[in-house]
């Protein structure tokens, strides 16, 4: 079990010992929507570890569409009085009577094959889902909502900047199947601003780059995720392009830390890029780093038509992290450590 692994527990402890205004976290309640996803599940483990080590009295309401998946992922917490399951589809009214202080809306399709095979769900989980979350927050009088947005809202780099700052807006061809994900996120950010203006909600908007880590879903079709699975299986890394794409990546541990940091320190209505310059990589370099873990090779293969429909056409998407760094946040994990831990922890889970 992942939570019994000392490497994983050390990561959770590192986050809980890092700099933050923890008094704004402790003794509060959290509704985490998208609880069984990569980021949501890691976040819950961080907070439950905080309860274990710091006696922090944090109540967690873990929301997902499948009770079975919730029970399987969080089996170790089912008898814990601080953990509560909430089964529900975020596009429907949230069935929770208890008051919660903080809400993380992280429910979304997040990989290319899902964009292509579930295009309506990709859009509506953002549009209708965000409306349901914000309606619940308004009725519930939540202290703060974090809407998890994405690097993809920036669109394609117009060639006029090296890195995307939070006020940048690049090109998206909205009349395509692939546009559903970034346009859904853009519209949801606008909806957040509308609820701030009309209902006085306190909302912060983290913008997350391509994320990896030991809690990633094994059916994730992103290139980076496929590379990791190749490394887990000690296989050659399969690259479905020349690998010149230049992207910001992030380790899930750093993302979870940044989300908790922004919850405590971010300003209402502001968007913040979550990124670290060490993780700015060409795709072929990421592939080579993972292949090297097992002394394997990088090989090239072309995507099938269905996969290609879901692929982003962006070739460079580097996030500037100056804004979140100005709040005092810095990443906790180095690139080599993040890649090694991810491969090792997933491999151990599959034994």
Going residue by residue through the chain (351 aa), what tens digit of pLDDT does each one get?
Answer: 899 999 999 999 999 999 999 999 999 999 999 999 999 999 999 999 999 999 999 999 999 999 999 999 999 999 999 999 999 999 999 999 999 999 999 987 655 666 667 788 888 888 999 999 999 999 999 999 999 999 999 998 888 999 999 999 988 988 888 888 899 999 999 999 999 999 999 999 999 999 999 999 887 777 888 899 999 999 999 887 888 899 999 999 999 999 999 999 999 999 999 999 999 999 999 999 999 999 999 998 766 666 666 665 568 999 999 999 999 999 999 999 999 999 999 999 876
Q: Which helix (H) or strand (E) holds 280?
A: strand 280-282
Question: Rounded CA gap, 229 and 223, in Å?
Answer: 10
Q: Which residues, other chains included, contact 335 with Cβ-Cβ below 8 Å and sequence gap of 6+?
A: 278, 279, 281, 289
Q: Which helix (H) or strand (E) holds 118?
A: none
Give 206's strand partners. 272
Q: What's the whole-model pTM score?
A: 0.93
Q: Which residues, other chains included, contact 72 with Cβ-Cβ below 8 Å and sequence gap of 6+?
A: none
- Provide the 3-class DSSP secondary structure of residue 135: helix
How high is the pLDDT of residue 217?
A: 83
How high is the pLDDT of residue 221?
A: 72
């Amino acid at each position: 079990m992942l939570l019994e692994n000392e490497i994983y527990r050390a990561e959770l402890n590192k986050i809980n010992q890092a700099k933050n205004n923890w008094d704004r976290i402790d003794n509060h309640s959290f509704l985490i929507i998208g609880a069984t996803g990569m980021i949501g599940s890691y976040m819950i483990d961080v907070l439950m570890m905080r309860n274990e080590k710091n006696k922090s009295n944090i109540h967690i309401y873990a929301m997902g569409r499948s009770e079975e998946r919730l029970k399987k992922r969080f089996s170790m917490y089912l008898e814990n009085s601080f953990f509560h399951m909430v089964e529900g589809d975020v596009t429907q009214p949230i069935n929770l009577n208890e008051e919660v202080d903080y809400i993380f809306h992280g429910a979304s399709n997040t990989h290319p094959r899902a964009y292509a095979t579930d295009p309506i769900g990709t859009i509506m989980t953002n549009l209708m889902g965000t409306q349901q979350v914000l309606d619940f927050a308004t009725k519930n009088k939540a202290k703060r909502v974090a809407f998890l947005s994405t690097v993809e809202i920036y669109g394609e780099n117009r060639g006029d900047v090296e890195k995307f700052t939070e006020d940048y807006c690049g090109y998206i061809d909205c009349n395509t199947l692939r546009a559903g994900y970034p346009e859904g996120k853009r519209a949801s950010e606008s909806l957040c601003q509308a609820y701030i203006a009309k209902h006085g909600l306190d909302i912060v908007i983290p913008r997350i780059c391509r994320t990896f880590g030991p809690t990633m879903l094994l059916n994730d079709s992103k290139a980076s995720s496929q590379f990791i699975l190749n490394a887990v299986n000690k296989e050659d890394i399969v690259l479905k392009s020349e690998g010149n794409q230049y992207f910001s990546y992030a380790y899930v541990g750093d993302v979870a830390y940044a989300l908790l940091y922004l919850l405590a320190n971010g300003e209402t209505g502001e968007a913040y890029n979550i990124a670290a310059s060490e993780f700015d990589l060409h795709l072929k370099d990421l592939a080579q780093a993972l292949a090297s873990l097992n002394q394997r090779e990088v090989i090239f293969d072309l995507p099938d038509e269905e996969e290609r429909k879901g692929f982003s056409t962006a070739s460079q998407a580097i996030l500037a992290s100056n804004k979140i760094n100005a709040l005092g946040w810095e990443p906790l994990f180095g690139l080599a450590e993040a890649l090694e831990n991810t491969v090792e922890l997933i491999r151990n889970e599959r034994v």
